[in-house]
Amino acid sequence: MNRTDYDAIIVGSGPNGLAAAIAMQQQGLSVLIVEGKDTIGGGLRSAELTLPGFLHDVCSAVHPLAVASPFFTTLPLEQFGLNYIFPEIDAAHPFDDGRAAILKGSVDDTAALLGDDQHTYLKLFNRLVKDWPELAPDVLGPLSFPKHPINLANFGLNALTPATYFAKRFKTQQAKGLFAGMAAHSIQPLSNFATSAIALVLMTAGHLKGWPVPQGGSRQIASSLASYFISIGGKIETGYYVKSLDQLPSSKAVLLDVTPKQLLQIAGHRFSSFYKWQLEKYRYGMGVYKVDWALDGPIPFTASECRSAGTVHLGGTFEEIADAEQSASLGNHPEKPFVLLAQQSVLDPSRAPAGKHAAWAYCHVPNGSYKDMTEAIERQIERFAPGFRDLILGRHTMNTAQMQQYNPNYIGGDINGGVIDLGQLFTRPALRSSPYRTSAKGIYICSSSTPPGGGVHGMCGYHAAKRALKDVFNISVI
């Protein structure tokens, strides 16, 4: 590496590392991104995992938070090759009777199919959609005095409740099941406090912006961010895995897109004993087991709505999903796991050869699990799409260890950078005046282990950059 001095160095080129680098480079600083892999992106990579011509998203696939990100939406990423494709139906949730609940862009259209819950849904989400532009900076940031306290208080009363409690306001199986699938993105038991938050955010994002996939794969998000960063003077070096800060050129600030475990390994000797103790107590959540398929045709879902949805949640009733998530959190492997499935090629034909399709799915498993969940996942798909197995031309699987090997931030297969339960919702990764500051001057953490947590939105990196800009360079960014 060229031993050149920089104002700031970012370790890791996931969405948060890229966001942090851009936010600092925009202020006229000299910024270097260091990436351990040969390609940038973190969870934003795509590859031919199964057969030639089938392009799969290695990790993240569908991006409601990216397209709704208060920071990413300020960037001219379409000028750098990013093109989102929006499904007719954002997400579908099939049931055993052949019906399906769906999330559409319109609150009215979604509510209209929920029978006796139509009025409840309209009342809840019409207000959230109206308030979200003002809520987003507060919800997608660190704990601080809110700019719109009344709106945030109204959101918090709903968001901080357990999903099992929140769902009681619905009467129908369709509304309860739809909400359960959304809440299960929290990757924790639905009886935990604050599990309603992720459901409300994802559903509101769907109504406002949609649940799109990037044309050409999730790698296009990383590529466009990197291209923009370079266009404003930034520099990226790949293939350089950082094990110690001593490996880096000198700089005034270092921001690390890593979780507490790696942060301790890289810079622990510079931290106070109390801060190290806090990081050592940091908790990781359930892992994921993931499968990609090359298919001979579209997935033959019984419910027609599922065939045009970008995302399909497979798990049946609210009770069944809650039981599966509770079981996995206790160290078990459910026979009928909750499955999150994306069928990107339905929206983006470039993902597969003509007439063929590519699909992606995962389920939650105990952290560090080595169990092969392929059969259980495929049974759940076959349950709602008889004949699915007959279409399989090839498959690629990743257990929790392989997920962590691919991305060291996925400790034990935890793709959220640590469990986001009430105990860590406001203290990621440690209880401090700013969660992005470490105890060492000039060293910051900017990963999904900081607020607001997991997801492709870049807000962890953006807020960490704002903190570093203020502390180190006396630059205030509004």
Q: What is the pLDDT of residue 3?
A: 52
Distances (CA, A) of 161 to 32, 274, 475: 41, 31, 38
pLDDT one-digit tens code per residue, 207-237? 999 999 999 999 999 999 999 999 999 999 9
- As a whole number, mean pLDDT of residues 202-206 equals 97
What are the start-end ranges of the H helices in 232-361?
Answer: 260-267, 273-280, 304-307, 318-329, 344-347
Instruction: Categorize the per-residue pLDDT at 144 as very low, low, confident or very high, splitting at 50, 70 and 90.
Output: confident
Look at residue 4 in the predicted model and tell me its pLDDT.
59
Percentage with pLDDT > 90 across the chain: 96
pLDDT of residue 170: 98
Distance CA 258, CA 409 (A): 6
The residue-averaged pLDDT of 303-317 equals 98
pLDDT over 70 at 288, yes or no: yes
Please state the rounded mean pLDDT for residues 379-398. Answer: 98
Encode pLDDT of 114-134 as tens digits: 999 999 999 999 999 999 999
360 has a pLDDT exceeding 60: yes
Q: What is the pTM of this model?
A: 0.96
Q: Please report the DSSP string for 332-380 in residue order.
A: ---SS--EEEE-HHHH-GGGSSTT-EEEEEEEEE-TT-----HHHHHHH
pLDDT in tens, 66-91: 999 999 999 999 999 999 999 999 99
pLDDT at 147: 84
Q: What is the four-CA torsion angle of 47, 49, 52, 57, rounded to 10 degrees?
A: -40
pLDDT at 143: 86
* CA proximity to 215, closest of 311, 351, 335: 351
Domain boundaries of the chain, sorted by first residue: 6-49+64-82+214-282+415-473, 84-213+286-406
45 neighbors 60 (Cβ within 8 angstroms): no
Q: Mean pLDDT of all residues in the chain? A: 97
Q: Average pLDDT of 89-111? A: 98
CA 377 to chain centre: 20
For residue 33, the model assigns a pLDDT of 98
- Superfamily covering domain 6-49+64-82+214-282+415-473: FAD/NAD(P)-binding domain (3.50.50.60)
Q: What pLDDT score does 478 carry? A: 78
Q: What topology is assigned to 84-213+286-406 in CATH? A: Polyamine Oxidase; Chain A, domain 2 (3.90.660)
Q: Is the model's pLDDT at 265 over the cut of 90?
A: yes
Q: Which tokens go with 11?
A: 């370790």
